[in-house]
Every structure is written in C-alpha cells, then in structure tokens.
Structure 1
C-alpha cells in the first residue's frame, strides 16, 4: 500500500463511516485512485459459470450500490465486480446511523436495508457501461433485491432481472440480507425453489444467457445447508455465493459490537468458510461456489479456494486495506498457487475441503 493510500485511509477513518464510503466512491470516480488495470497470469485466468475472468478476486455487492463507478472498478485489479443491490423502486433504506466500523475486530456492521436508486437508474448506468460490441474484459454483475414494502418480494427479484438483465454478465439473488425483515425466510426450500423458478423464467426473455447465482446466509444449520444445496441442484442455477453477513457477535471486542445489523469482515471468515466447505462437500461438481466472508489477504483467498470456492469476493476488508487490496491479493494468490505447484486456480479448488468439515 502506498503512503498516499495509507494517509487517505487514515483520514477516512476519522469521518462518519457512511460519509467516508461516499467520499471514497467520489474520489474513485474523479480519478484520484491508482487503477492498475486487470491483474492476470496464466495461473490466475479462470472461467466461472461461462464467464472469463482475468483473476478469481471479485468485488462483492454493496460497495457500488448504484452502479456509479463500474468503469473505474473494472480497472482496479478485480477479476469481476458486482454492483447493487437493486430493487424495483428506489428506497432510502434504514435510518442513519447504519454503518459501523469495528476497528479492533477488523470488521464492519451494517443495517443499510437495501438503500438504492432503483432499477431504472441502475439499469440505465449498466446499459451505458456495456460495450456496443464484444464482452467486458471484467464481468459485471447485479445483486437483485426486493423492496421492503413489496407485496410480493419473490416477484421483485424477477422484475429487476427482467429490467436490467440485458446489460449485465451475471445476476445474484440476494435472499440472505439480515436487514430487510423476513427476507431470510425466502431461504426455506419451498419458497426458494419458487423464487428461483421465477427468476430463471425471466431469463428466457433476455438477449443472452445470464448466469444466476444464489447468495446465502452463514447462520444456517447443517440440515438447512443441505436443503439449499438440493434446491440449487434442482433449480439449475449457475452458482452459490457463500456467504452474506452474520448476525453472530461471538468474540467481538469493539465498542460497536452490539449494533443491530449484519457483521462482515475478519470475524466472519471461519463461519463462512465452514458453510462453504459443507456446500462444496454436498454439491461437488454440480454447482460451483463463490467464497465470501472475511477475506483480507492472499492466504485468505487461497484458503477459501482450497475449501471449495472456484472464485472469491471481498468488500469489508477494503475499509482497512484500501482499494489496492484486490491487486495485492491477486498477485499474492498467484505466488501461492505457484509455490504449491498448481498450474491454474481450478487445480486448487477443494483440495483442502476436508479440513473445514
């Protein structure tokens, strides 16, 4: 990390977290952040759900909620990026304050509640960013959400997908946010199967086949994980993202540990990796996995891959490690793969799964 980035992070951490997030996005769009371009090598290049990626390090949803910095983030060293979540109608989300740094724990708690400008505004930006010919060098996906006051939340996901689907490379069905009341109820097998059927049916009308991923919570019993895995196989979705934020507060030290909302960052790593490994054990080659939760180093990314993830995502760690974290992790992962004799990322997937079961 450069001295300039260190100083910038120091300043941002003295500001209200949500305001600091907004300033970071503004600086990124203004060209004030160094953008190394795609980080890649013969080992790092990977294909996931038919998407060609320069490396397996993705940006998770939540950093660029309204798809305002797609061009810049595509040059920031990530192998793929996910924007949103987007809901059919704009919504302001939960009352502020709703974002809290847990510095002692290298973690973050948020209770945003799907604040976003809605699918019309987000879809327009996605359309403007899409190349007129060919495909994006770095795939761009959209996290699909439901409005808090919706009478049919399951239908909201399909509605957003129908509106934005022609302008994205993949879509994520997000039924695992803890900040919209009863949203996680949609993870039940019957409700989930019906929801995914609606989303996949909406895909038939798009101008290209958009891979659909399901993002699940880490706070699941083993039987619930098995049920979700079965639905994933039956439904025909293209991948599972494990996992979203947790409601657990075990072992936290920071003053804000009691705040309501979803916890992300370092304390989530072990819990999310165990869920990932369990899913990988059940699904094997049937449905590939994206590992998320607590990744802040190349070793963390490598551990998720060896536990069963084909690719990974991060977000919260950038609060402490800056935007340069992604290229640093990608380069470090390349070195780890080389040191252990793996020629490709896919060669390493699941090679230490049993250690997490």
Structure 2
C-alpha cells in the first residue's frame, strides 16, 4: 500500500468506513501480505523503502537502522508490525501497557479537515498478559520499546506498585527498553514530584539489573511551566532519555493529529537545556510530513515516532522522512568526484545511442522496403512475390517492424537518460531499472530461434551492445542523491501520487502486454484480428511459403521482448524514481514514451489496421501516459524549495 495507491484508491475508501473497521481492515490486510511467501520482499519492492546505512544510529546503545519509529497507537495489538517494519521504520513502540486490560467500544473519530483522530480512551489496551504475546513473538528484528502506565485513577502508592510489577515482568521479555508514563494522570505538584521520585528509583534499579534503557514519558499537553517545576531540582540522571507524547486531552478522550507542534518543539528545547548531552529525546507529536520531523530534529530531538501522520500522509511517510534526513546529513558535505565517462555510465549512454540509431534505421527500412536481403534469402522469395500472396502481407510485416523500431528508440532514450542522470551519480533505482531491463531484454534474442530463423543483424547488434551493458554495470556502488527532496504534503505532491499511479499501471500493463505478445510470437504467432485484417488463414500462409510464419514470429517475439524490457524499466522508474524537482525525468518520460506510441498508432492507421478491440490496449496505454505526464508536471518541474501550495 504505497502512497501512490493509498492516497488515490485506499484512503478515500477507508475514510468512509468507521475508524475501528478501517484500522482493523488495513492492519489485517498488511499482515496477510507480510505472511505470504515473499510478502515482505513485495512490500519493499513496491515502496523501495530499504533504509540507507547513513541512517544507522543507536538509542542508548541499542542499534537502530533509522531514526524513525512507530508509535504504539498505530497498531496497539501488533497485528501488522512485520509489514510496517518494512516501511523504513527503525524501532517500534508497544503500548501503553497497563496491568489490567482497558477496553472501550466507543467510536474512534476521524476529523479529516483537522487531520486529527479522536480516541475515547488513550490507555485502551489488552493488559500485561496479552501484551506479552506482542513483545515476545515478533516476526521482525526491530527493537521494541514498551510504554508502561498505571491504571487510571490509582493513588501514588498503587501507581508505584504497578510500575514495579510491570517492569519486573516485562524486563524478562525481549523488550529493548521502557517508557514510564509517570506524568499523565493529573495530580498535585507535590504528588507528581513524589511519584516521579519513586519512579526514578525504580528506573535506576531496573536499568542496573537489565541494562535496558529507561525513558520518562512526557504528555504533549503537560504544561511547560509545570514541567519545569516538576523536573528542576530532581535527579534526571535516572533516565536515559525522554519521550514526548502525541495526545491532547479533551473532555471525553484524547486527540492525536497536527495540533500541538508548538508544544512539542518547546518541550524538546527545554529538555535539551536541562538534560545531559548523551540523553536521548524522542518526539511522537504532530509529524504528518517530512518537514515536521526535520523541525523536531532541528529543535533537539534525536528520534521521531509516527502516529496519525501515517493515516493522513500514507505508509510512505517513513521513507520520505528518511530521505529528508539523509539530504540534511549530506547537503553540507563536498560531493564526490564525478566518475569518468568510460568508468561505467558512459557505456550505457553509448548503448542507448546504439538502440536509438538501430531503431531509426529499422523504422526507415520497415516504412520502405520492409524486407532485408537475408529475409528474402530465407524466404526464397522477393518482395513482389510476397505481394502476390496477399496484398496486406507486407503491410502487416511493416506494422510489426515499425512498432518494434519505436520501442527500440524508446528503450534507447531511457537508457541514455538514466545513465547520464542516474547511473552516473550512483542512484540505486536507476541502476536497478537498467539492470532489470537488460536482464529481460537481451535473452529475448533467443525467443524466435526455435522457428529456425536466425537474424544476423540482430545477432551482431546484440554482440556489440551486450559488452557495453556489462561494462556499464560494473564497479558502481550506490550513493545517496544530493538533490533536494520533497518535505511537504503539498497539492503538487498529492497530484503527483495520481500521476505515479498512472505510470505504475502503465508499466504493469505494458509488462503484461510484452509477455503476451512474446508468448503469442513463439506459439500461435497471430491473433484472430491479424488474420482478419489480412483476409487469410494460417494454413494458407504456410502453404504459400513454409518460412513465412517463422519470419513473422521473429518480428512478433522480438517486439514482445523489447516491449517487456521497456516496460520493466518504466515500472521501476515509476515505483522508485519520481522525486520532486527532477525535471530531466519528466522530459525523459515524455521523450521516451513518444516514439513507441507514435510508431504503434501511426502505422496502424497508415495501413488501415484499425480494429477497435485490437487497438483498445494502445488507447488505454496512451491515456494513462498522457494523464500521468500532466499530473506529474507540477511536481517534477518544481524544485522542493520553490513555493508550494500545502493542503
């Protein structure tokens, strides 16, 4: 459920359902996907969320792959932790966990205008015993930090006893550390300080016994002046850090959303002034777009946790936050020296130029003589003799070869552009797109050999271009992009999600089309509309010349293989490569797709092969292509630092 599908398809549907139903449906669906063979790989592939090593750090000595955590309120029962752990999350919060279950059947309310969620009971949870299942049996490797709290309304003495029981029990589990929710229940200043003092003693003892870090949980709406009165003069060395909550208390429950960012920033700044330099500060409040996370880090937070932002921005938010953090890390560092043209990327540029030149030559031949001398030699017939077999035969062969030529030009343009603007700079997605395209493209040369036809020019071209492909893929380690990234949930970004959906669907559709065409080419060769257009049967063609169908099969299989190679590359670009302000990519999509569509449609109309059902997939594809370009234009053509409209 990446952002391009969540924002466009799933979110509108889920927001019409009752919030509890929508949450259960979403979490269980993600869980089922993650438990399928290859399910977690599928999640990674759809979103390209594998975190960069540049994000690795430690929370009080505990290694985490990213500084972005999952708040406990997102998945309180741990249903989809395995799936969510693939989103670029670095650690997971479990809880709040209380000694006994706290249940509520009141509705959870979704305020779409304010981007906030109202919960009737902040402490709704399954209690200590059932929570052990979540903590002790994870199907992921991320560290889990457990937020523990006393039952609402208990006395200070009871709260201390419950904290002690919770710590003693949970310390025996795989929990990495604990957040002690000491300040949430309203008490007098004297009682609050007494509870904090005794909880601190428990935290010190627990840390000395287990070496698991203890964090003081601070409610988001805890008054700043009261927080200062509570903490000043107390020994805060008992805590390895602080966690700022995300809830704003209201009369009948709590609200979690965009409100309260100023409160969170002020608490971070205050805690940073009074705490030791090695204290860890986490903030889980009001992070709905990457800029919110950057603001928290700028104020002094070390880590952030995502909550309601995942509901409104989508599951790609952790990845976007990670990308923004990486950019902030590397923007001040000097860029690496650009690799020489001949090291790797230049060879791919030459391969692309070769494909473009080959496509242009093939187009010219297909639009004029159609046949090459070795085609006539294989058939044992001249062009004029073929025309006598059927007046539409050469037109049909020309239509196959022109569509192949347009696809070759499209591949060449994409190869050249991805090499010059992506491979050159070590962009992982660009290298993967080129690699996968070559892996499926070059073997397509062998698809038609079973029919006994050998295309010498095709073989020579493959022999020349394949070494270039190998040279381009060598010695090219991944490097992070140094270009600014999107940090806002702007109107341009939301529109781009629709454009991305168009190109993803287009990439999938063309991939299926390429496989089908190649499959037809090596089996039946013709579809019914082909034979209707020519007005002949397959048997009549075989009787006229037994080599005719193998020659046509060669063209069809070659086109299917080329289309699949092109489509795989386009799909990876659509899934992983769309970043705001990458103007070259918009022009690449425009220039790369145009030759294939122009070739395919123009030749059909030129030879009057205009069967609606036959051309319907092409009409569908070009509609997606044009719509995608229109919707991606504002996003790709506008720099992230340009003024954007935020919704």
TM-score of the aligned structures, taking structure 1 as reference length = 0.80
Alignment of 1:322-333 (within 5 A): 322-333=314-325
The verdict on how the C-alpha distance between 1:341 and 1:297 changes in structure 2, with shifts beyond 3 A counting, is: farther
Structure 2 partner of 1:293:
285
- Within 5 Å, give how 1:126-275 maps onto structure 2: 126-129=135-138, 137-148=141-152, 152-166=158-172, 167-177=174-184, 182=186, 188-205=192-209, 208-230=210-232, 233-247=235-249, 260-275=252-267
Looking at structure 2, the residues matched to 51 and 313 of structure 1 have their Cα atoms a distance apart, in angstroms, of 16
Match of residue 101 from structure 1: 110
**RMSD value over aligned CA atoms?**
2.9
TM-aligned CA distance change 1:143 to 1:277, over 3 Å: same
Q: Is the 8 A contact 1:213 1:237 kept in 2?
A: yes
Deviation at 1:158, TM superposition (A): 2.4
Equivalent position of 1:20 in the other structure: 22
Structure 1, unmatched stretches of 5+, are 131-135, 249-258, 344-357
Q: Which one of 113, 125, 129 corresponds to residue 120 of structure 1?
A: 129
Distance 1:149 1:282, change over 3 A: closer
As a proportion of its length, which structure holds more strand? Answer: 1
3-state DSSP of counterpart to 1:225? helix
Indicate the structure with greater helix content. Answer: 2
Deviations 1:43-90 (A, max 9, x none): 321112111111101111212223333333322210111011111222
Matches within 5 A, 1:85-96: 85-93=96-104, 95-96=105-106
**SS class of match (1:247):** strand
The more displaced of 49-58 and 25-34 is: 25-34
| Structure of greater relative contact order (alpha carbons < 8 Å, 6+ residues apart) | 1
Report if aligned partners of 1:38, 1:78 keep a CA contact under 8 Å in 2: no
CA distance in 1, matches of 2:307, 2:187: 22
- Once the two structures are TM-superposed, the CA of residue 270 in structure 1 deviates from its matched residue by 1.7
The CA distance in 2 between the partners of 1:198 and 1:39, in whole Å, is: 38
Identify if the C-alpha distance between structure 1 residues 185 and 145 changes in structure 2 by more than 3 Å, giving closer, same or farther.
farther
State the partner residue of 2:294: 302
TM-score normalised according to structure 2 size: 0.46
Question: How far did 1:176 drift?
Answer: 4.8
CA 1:126/1:342 → structure 2, altered by over 3 Å: closer, same or farther?
Answer: farther
Question: Could you tell me which residue of structure 2 aligns to residue 59 of structure 1?
Answer: 70
If you compute each CA radius of gyration, which structure gives the higher value, 1 or 2? Answer: 2
CA deviation string 1:295-320 (max 9, x = no partner)? 12222111111101011111011111
Q: What are the ranges of 5 or more consecutive residues in structure 2 without an aligned counterpart?
A: 336-647
C-alpha distance in 1, partners of 2:175/2:50? Answer: 21
